[in-house]
Amino acid sequence: MSRGRWYAAIVSWVSTAACGGPLSTLAPAGREAEDAASLFVWMTVAAAVLWTGLVALLLYATSSTREITNPRTGSRLIAAGFLLPVTLLPVLLVFGLRPLARADERSSPPPFSIDVAAEQWWWRVRYAFDDGRSIPLANEIHLPVGAEIPARLTSHNVIHSFWIPALAGKVDMIPGRSTRLLLAPTRTGEFQGVCAEYCGASHAFMAFTVVAHEQQDFDRWLLGQAQPAREPANESAERGSALFFRHGCAACHAIRGTSANGVVGPDLTHVGSRARLAAGARPNHPEALIEWISAPSHVKPEATMPDFAMIGRSDLTDIAAYLHGLQ
Ligand code: CUA
């Protein structure tokens, strides 16, 4: 392959490398993301047309083989170079403002809303209902396809940014004020959310899972999350439950249905049901739980949770069995 072809291959590979996968904005699964993706395509096409037109004019005007002697040709060239951007750019501006106006449009009252607070470095989630009920969760958001769910975004530490590339976003989470975003998934699937604003040592380990379900599946999931925690299912989990309280975990974590009601760390009532641990840092697995509990600082630099390296392997296995059983 010639050198030029190599360059072309590398450029096309690099430019399309991010066009798929769970973090792609070009595989939209939400109303706002669909608007953004189509805006991207139209902007790219229009920019290509404009660039091609202007370069063609430039080449014509500077071509050494032809001398422009007629002054009217010169004026026409200048007029064309002026008119092309002046007509095309306002059209793009209007086209680009349309999704902004649509961003908050809702066709029906939402069945519930979601509050998301950015912590260093995880996501505190709360489903809030009109009748005053609320369900505290963490690091995972589930949504019914077809619904338009308002999310209220806050932070009480530093600026974070809430971004689910396939659904919508990104919106800053600013201490002292709340921002909002409408989540309107258009197809089922599991997507990834990230923090898109540098917020400290573990910014890169601040992710979350988003699952869009059909309504029935969503209702089933929500019903499960609203329940108090399951009782330990076996002896190991029972020992793990006692160890959880003996080591003071309940001072920071809540497990609904038990006396654990700490609010510093994530709610663990259904921690076993989540896809990932520690805000996306590890897959949810007993071994990963053991690693996390014994040395959070290795998994997530500067995490607030202290290392529990003094707990023996067999006790850690029991605690992990208890937590993993909290489905
Ligand atoms: Cu939170 Cu970056």
For residue 65, report the distance from its CA to the centre of ligand 1, in Å. Answer: 57
With cut-offs at 50, 70 and 90, classify the pLDDT of residue 63: confident
For residue 78, report the distance from its CA to the centre of ligand 1, in Å. Answer: 48
Q: What percent of the chain clears pLDDT 70, i.e. is strictly above it?
A: 92
Facing residues of 152 across strands? 115, 180
Interval 39-48: pLDDT, tens: 899 889 988 9
For residue 66, report the distance from its CA to the centre of ligand 1, in Å. Answer: 58
Which residue type sits at 106? Answer: R
Q: Exposure pattern of 196-227 as b/e (b: 16+ CB <10 Å)? A: bbebeebbebbbbbbbbbeeeebeebbeebee
For atom 1 of ligand 1, which residue has the closest CA?
160
Asked if the model's pLDDT at residue 250 lies above 80, the reply is yes
* C-alpha distances in Å from residue 14, one per residue of 17, 22, 40, 234, 257: 5, 18, 17, 51, 51
Facing residues of 164 across strands? 168
Closest CA to 277 of 320, 213, 234: 320
Structure tokens at 317: 């296995």
Asked if the model's pLDDT at residue 152 lies above 90, the reply is yes
For residue 150, report the distance from its CA to the centre of ligand 1, in Å. Answer: 21
Please report the atom of ligand 1 found closest to the CA of residue 160. Answer: 1
For residue 254, report the distance from its CA to the centre of ligand 1, in Å. Answer: 23
Structure tokens at 166: 């396939």
Asked if the model's pLDDT at residue 1 lies above 60, the reply is no
Running DSSP on this structure, what letter comes out for residue 208? E
Contacts of 248 (CB under 8 A, 6+ apart): none
Please report, to the nearest 10 degrees, the dihedral formed by the alpha carbons of residues 264, 205, 156, 23 taken in order: -130
Asked if the model's pLDDT at residue 15 lies above 70, the reply is no
Please report the atom of ligand 1 found closest to the CA of residue 200. Answer: 2
Higher pLDDT, 85 or 299: 299
Please report the atom of ligand 1 found closest to the CA of residue 206. Answer: 1
3-state secondary structure of 66: coil
Interval 165-217: pLDDT, tens: 999 878 999 999 999 999 999 999 999 999 999 999 999 999 999 999 999 99
3-state secondary structure of 212: strand
Residues with CB under 6 A from ligand 1: 118, 121, 160, 195, 197-199, 203, 206
For residue 280, report the distance from its CA to the centre of ligand 1, in Å. Answer: 13
Backbone angles phi, psi at 197, to 5 degrees: -135, 125
What pLDDT score was predicted for residue 10? 66
With cut-offs at 50, 70 and 90, classify the pLDDT of residue 26: confident
Running DSSP on this structure, what letter comes out for residue 309? T
Please report the atom of ligand 1 found closest to the CA of residue 158. Answer: 1
Q: Which residue is it, tokens 């450029």?
A: 11
For residue 121, report the distance from its CA to the centre of ligand 1, in Å. Answer: 7
Which residue type sits at 67? Answer: E
pLDDT, averaged across the chain: 89
Please report the atom of ligand 1 found closest to the CA of residue 198. Answer: 2
